[in-house]
Amino acid sequence: MIRGIRGAATVERNETEDMLQVTKTLIEQIVQKNSLNPEAIAHIWITVSPDLNATFPARALRLLNGFERVPVMCAQEIPVDGGLEKCIRLMVTAETALKQDQVNHVYLGRARALRPDLAGEE
């Protein structure tokens, strides 16, 4: 079954290293918590809040073993008034045997406020 797995995290600063490290941590936790293999990932959509433009977060995935050929696309999140600032969001589409209620979405830092019902323990 193909499933969508959500993830989001915040950075403190609009700086390349912060964005790359948070993106790397986020994808590693999504992969680990859902027992994914990069080969099973169809694609990954990444959005950033409008205040983040230091780098493309997709660069972080290119540095991870097995992700060299996973299609990744970056875009800007719609600029809604009051939206969470300095936020990176991922939508991982992957083949998995997990049922929808077994999928582990990952929300880190201030992004936990986006979906407290799914955030679980950090």
3 is in an annotated binding site: no
Give the count of domains, the chain. Answer: 1
Would residue 19 be called left, alpha or beta, if left means φ above 0 and alpha means ψ between -120 and 50 degrees?
Answer: alpha
b/e map 24-58, b = 16+ CB within 10 Å: bbbbebbbeebebebebbeebbbbbbeebeebbbb
pLDDT, tens only, 3-60: 999 999 999 999 999 999 999 999 999 999 999 999 999 999 999 999 999 999 999 9
- Rounded CA-CA distance 29/23 in Å is 10
Residue 121 is predicted with a pLDDT of 55
Residue 72 is part of a domain; what is its CATH number? 3.30.1330.40
Active-site annotation, residues: 6, 62, 74, 77, 89, 107, 115
Domain residues for 61?
2-119
